[in-house]
Amino acid sequence: MLRDVRSVKRRLTEEATSVVGMLEQALSALWSLDTAAAGEILKDDDRIDREEVAIEEACFRVMTLQAPVARDFRMLTFILKVNADVERIADHACSIAKVTFKIADDRPRAWPVSLRELGDRIPIACHGLLRAMHDENADAARQIVVGDKTIDRLNRQLFDEVVEGMAAGTLSHRTGLLLFRLGREIERIGDLLTNIAEDIVYLSTGEIIRHAKKRLRQEMGQ
């Protein structure tokens, strides 16, 4: 692999690690409704935006000056796609931080069970994805793709919990809508993790599994 390609991949891994840290901090600030900590997360958004652009420019520079082929070209296209998805995860982490400010004024009596489980599962999936990306491990990436079904189920469960809470009067309509928004933000992060995992499988094996989730779940017994 070209030395410059390895360098850009390392830079992407560092960016992704930083974004996962942002997400974990955003969730921690949410559970404690720590608006000061939420504000610190928002300050990192511009830095991630700049790094996304810098990584993209580095990829284009290598493509233009070194005309990579085969494995190197596949790696660069992988970096370009994943770079964009990583930046979007940072955007969702910032959205979670912004909701923290809004919900702090009307705290729920208790967090919905499904929302807490979503908040627990997503960081674990993120760290699994970082390992799979570093190792270019297709099997580990497939596990993340299959696990997205659980995230979708929990998001649907959250909708039911929020509706029940509003109907029972234990949640204000404003807070209920904010809780549902949080579920959507986390669910979208799950979708982006799945996209990246699918790209890892392609990078490692050349197989496109984007439209083969049902078959993949059957093969993996899930």
Q: What confidence tens digit (pLDDT) does each residue in 32-68 have?
A: 999 999 999 999 999 999 999 999 999 999 999 888 8
pLDDT band at 106 (very low <50, low <70, confident <90, very high): confident
Look up residue 133 and give its two tokens. 């990306």
Q: How far apart are CA 148 and CA 144, in angstroms?
A: 7
Q: Are residues 94 and 123 in the same domain?
A: no
Same-domain pairing of 114 and 101: no
Residues 101 and 130 grouped into a single domain: no
Point out the domain boundary residue: 87, 105, 123. 105
**Nearest-angstrom CA–CA distance, 129 and 112:** 26
Which residue is it, tokens 């660069």?
Answer: 76
Q: Please say which residue of 68, 85, 105 terminates a domain.
A: 105
Mean pLDDT of 25-29: 97
* 135 & 207 share domain: yes
Listed in sequence order, the residues at least 6 apart from 98 whose beta carbon sits closer than 8 Å to its beta carbon are: 38, 42
Binned at pLDDT 50, 70 and 90, residue 149 comes out as: confident
212 or 140: which leads in pLDDT: 140
Cα dihedral 116, 117, 122, 127 sign: positive
Say how far apart CA 48 and CA 221 lie, in whole Å: 38
Q: How many domains does the chain have?
A: 2
How would DSSP label each residue in 59-76? HHHHHHHH---HHHHHHH
Say if residue 129 is in the same domain as residue 42. Answer: no
3-state secondary structure of 221: coil
Q: Does pLDDT of 14 surpass 90?
A: yes
Of 42-51, 193-202, 208-217, the least confident:
208-217
Q: pTM score, two decimals?
A: 0.92
Confidence band, pLDDT 50/70/90 cuts, at residue 217: low
64/124 same-domain check = no
Q: Is the pLDDT of residue 214 over 90?
A: no
Domain with 173, as residue range(s), is 110-222
Q: Return the SS3 of 199.
A: helix
Whether residues 117 and 219 share a domain: the answer is yes
Q: Is the pLDDT of residue 124 over 90?
A: yes
Whether pLDDT at 105 is above 90: no
